[in-house]
Structure formats: structure tokens, C-alpha cells
Amino acid sequence: MSKSEDAFAILRRDILDAVLAPGEPLVIAGLRQRYGFGWTPLREALPRLEAEKLVVFQQHRGYRVAPVSAKSLRDLQAARLAVESALLKASIENGDGEWEGRIVAAHHLLGRTPAPAPGMAEDATRLWEQRHDAFHDALLAAGESEWLTRFQRQIADQLHRHHRFMVHGPNTRGILRADERPTLQAVLQRTLGIEHHTALMEATLARDAAKALALLEEHIGFSLAVYETLWPA
């Protein structure tokens, strides 16, 4: 892999994981010092990240990590619902025994993994994210649409960045020290816990498309409830 590809991959990872926070300036001199890359790899990486809507460029201000907001989250939710509903419906129609087995196995691993919470170790958070993504990928795996699958992954990356910032951002840490702590923990548990994933799995395996799609819509809406708890305004 070239240095330009390395720079792109590492910056992309840190933006998605909110290590580089939304709105943070991306000054090449600072990035060189932080990551050890030269000018050319970084200059080539930033426009590629802008094309993926992970970075924004403003005249006289340069590059910054793309912001997150309740408005963008709602837009992403609407896009996710449209794309994943189509893929889930097709998967229920087309899925075979191997597809069912993959869903059950992914659900089993997800159920054995503690859900993320503010202050959780990075390795534990990443493991849950990987198993959560694997479960949802398994649900949609029989959708048989290359383009919809590609769109679904792009949307998932953007939502990953929003969720990372929601759970680990400074607002969350502040709330955990305040009276709202029980409320936030309850919302996180409803959003990230295994119970709703189990109901979604059972409806899918029963080939009950109407119920599965309704549960998917409810599941996608949970993340907005987290956002509204953290940023009521």
C-alpha cells in the first residue's frame, strides 16, 4: 500500500471513530506531526475524504472534519430506512438456510458482547461495533443488490461517526455526571441492547416481512432518541 493510501485509510478510520472530532480543523502541518506522513500523501488524502463527505473544505479556512447534527442524523436515518428496508424485504424473500444460520450465529455473538457505554475501553467498544455490524449485515445479506449494498455501507459509515460522537463525546461525559444519568443509560440500553435485535431476528426468520420492517424502522429511530437526550435543543 502506498503512503497516500496509508494516509487516507488512517485519517478515514480516525474520522469515523471520532478520534478526529466533528468540526476539527485538518491543518496539514499538524497532521504531519500527528501521523508522520509527508505533505503529498496528506494533500492527496484530504480531497478523497471530502468526496466521501467526511471532510469539508471552506475557502480561507481550509479542511475540517465534517460536522454532525440532529438534522444530518435524521437525513441519514431516512436514507438508511429506505435502503435497508428494501434489502431486508428482498432478503426475507430470497434467503436460504445458510442465510438463516448466519443471522443466528451473528446474533449469538452480539448477545455475548457488552453494549458500548461512555468510558468503555476502546477494544471493547470496537468489538461490539464489529459484532453489531455483522448482525445487521447478516440480516441484509440475501438482498442481492450490489448498488443498494454499496449505499448501505456508505450510510453505515456516516452513522458510525455520529454514534461514536454521541456515545463518547464531551456532552455525554457531562450528562453522566448530572441528574440525567439514569435517563441516558436507559435510552442507550434500549438502543444498543440485545432485546430489540432479538425481536428483529425472530420476525426476519419467521419471514414476517411486515413485522420485521416495522421493527427495523423502530430500531433506526432509537439513535435519534439518544441524540435528543444529549442535545435537547
Say how many domains are in the chain. Answer: 2
Give the pLDDT score at 173.
Answer: 52
Instruction: Look up residue 112 and give its DSSP letter.
Output: T
Instruction: Over range 158-164, report the average pLDDT.
Output: 89
41: amino acid identity, one letter: P
Question: How would residue 172 be classed by pLDDT, with cut points 50, 70 and 90?
Answer: low
Residue 90 and residue 149: Cα distance in Å, rounded? Answer: 12
199 with 106, same domain: the answer is yes
45 with 135, same domain: the answer is no
104 with 214, same domain: the answer is yes
Give the model confidence (pLDDT) of 185-210 as tens digits: 666 667 778 998 999 999 999 999 99
- The beta-strand segments (E) located in 99-157 are none
Give the model confidence (pLDDT) of 42-64 as tens digits: 999 999 999 999 999 988 889 99
180 grid coordinates: 440525567
116 with 51, same domain: the answer is no
75 with 29, same domain: the answer is no
Residue 161 and residue 108: Cα distance in Å, rounded? Answer: 25
H or E, element range at 56: strand 55-58
User: Which CATH number goes with the domain that contains 200?
Assistant: 1.20.120.530
54 with 143, same domain: the answer is no
Residue 207 and residue 99: Cα distance in Å, rounded? Answer: 12
pLDDT exceeds 70 at position 118: no
Task: Round the average pLDDT of the chain to a whole number and report it.
Answer: 88
User: Which CATH number goes with the domain that contains 54?
Assistant: 1.10.10.10
Question: How would residue 69 be classed by pLDDT, with cut points 50, 70 and 90?
Answer: confident
Which one of 65, 95, 118 terminates a domain? 65
pLDDT exceeds 80 at position 169: no
113 with 132, same domain: the answer is yes
Question: How would residue 157 be classed by pLDDT, with cut points 50, 70 and 90?
Answer: very high
Question: How would residue 102 be classed by pLDDT, with cut points 50, 70 and 90?
Answer: very high
116 with 211, same domain: the answer is yes
Which one of 50, 65, 80 terminates a domain? 65
129 with 192, same domain: the answer is yes
Which residues are CB-neighbours of 149 under 8 A, at least 6 positions away? 87, 140, 143
Instruction: Over range 16-28, report the average pLDDT.
Output: 93
Which one of 45, 65, 85 terminates a domain? 65
47 with 107, same domain: the answer is no
90 with 104, same domain: the answer is yes
132 with 78, same domain: the answer is yes
Instruction: Over range 167-174, report the average pLDDT.
Output: 59
Give the pLDDT score at 230.
Answer: 66
Q: What is the pTM of this model?
A: 0.84
CB 148 within 8 A of CB 87: yes
Domain around 48: 3-65
